Chain A
Amino acid sequence: QQPVQSPQAVILREGEDAVINCSSSKALYSVHWYRQKHGEAPVFLMILLKGGEQKGHEKISASFNEKKQQSSLYLTASQLSYSGTYFCGTDKAFGTGTRLTIIP
């Protein structure tokens, strides 16, 4: 079963922050995060390997709690270029997706 993400969609004004949550019913040993823009292939953002690990990528960071089988993606001071659909998951199971729209 695929990981479940929340929210399903979010609209932000440029400069606002957002959090995307990812929860799995199966044990997770690592979590990947991807962003996909409409009509394009997914782009890998980061992988988290250890429980409690946090990583950052520009103004996008993520945390992973393997005990809770949860991960969160944090987007700070959002930019127009952050718009797209974000997926968490593993190499074999993508999450349900969160559509992020940034408006000027």
Chain B
Amino acid sequence: DTGVSQDPRHKITKRGQNVTFRCDPISEHNRLYWYRQTLGQGPEFLTYFQNEAQLEKSRLLSDRFSAERPKGSFSTLEIQRTEQGDSAMYLCASSLASMGQGNYGYTFGSGTRLTVV
């Protein structure tokens, strides 16, 4: 297993353009999370899926943001009409829904760094 993969690693886009990021979780993990992190801050929760169902969305997630996980495997996060304030690292993480006493935990991808110019 190669862990959680995110693509692209870096994205520079002009304000107003749409961007889409992809996350491939660990194959046996049924939960997938998206976070946003800006410099010097901790990750902020955006949304999460259990299998293909999007179970929760943060109030931070404006209507310009949409996420999908159509087959319960990879996920995409789309930002429409990007703004300079969207510049951040977008992190994806996956986990098992029920971990019991184990330390299986959460595995993060390396992130996609978005710069809106």
Mask of A81-104 contacts with B, CB within 8 angstroms, 1/0: 000010101011111110000000
Mask of A16-46 contacts with B, CB within 8 angstroms, 1/0: 0000000000000000101000001111111
Contacts of A95 in B (CB 8 A): 42
Query: From residue 59 to 117 of chain B, which have CB atoms closer than 8 A to chain A?
Result: 91, 93, 95, 99, 101, 103, 105-111
Which of under 10, 10 to 19, 20 to 34, or 35 or more describes the interface residues of A?
A: 20 to 34
How many residues of B are counted as interface, with CB atoms below 8 angstroms from the partner's CB atoms?
23
Contacts of A57 in B (CB 8 A): 103
Please give the distance in Å from A87's CB to the nearest CB on chain B.
Answer: 5
Q: Among the interface residues A43, A45, A92, which one has the most CB atoms of the partner chain B within 10 A?
A: A92
Q: Is there contact, CB below 8 Å, between B42 and A41?
A: no
Q: Report if A75 contacts B (CB, 8 A).
A: no
Helix, strand, loop or mixed for chain A's interface? strand
Q: Report if B48 contacts A (CB, 8 A).
A: yes
Contacts of A92 in B (CB 8 A): 45, 48, 56, 58
Please give the distance in Å from B88's CB to the nearest CB on chain A.
Answer: 13
Q: Report if A2 contacts B (CB, 8 A).
A: yes
Q: A41-B91, A41-B109, A92-B56 are in contact. Are A2 and B42 (CB under 8 A)?
A: yes
Could you list 5 examples of A-B contacts with CB < 8 Å? A32-B105, A41-B91, A85-B42, A87-B43, A91-B95
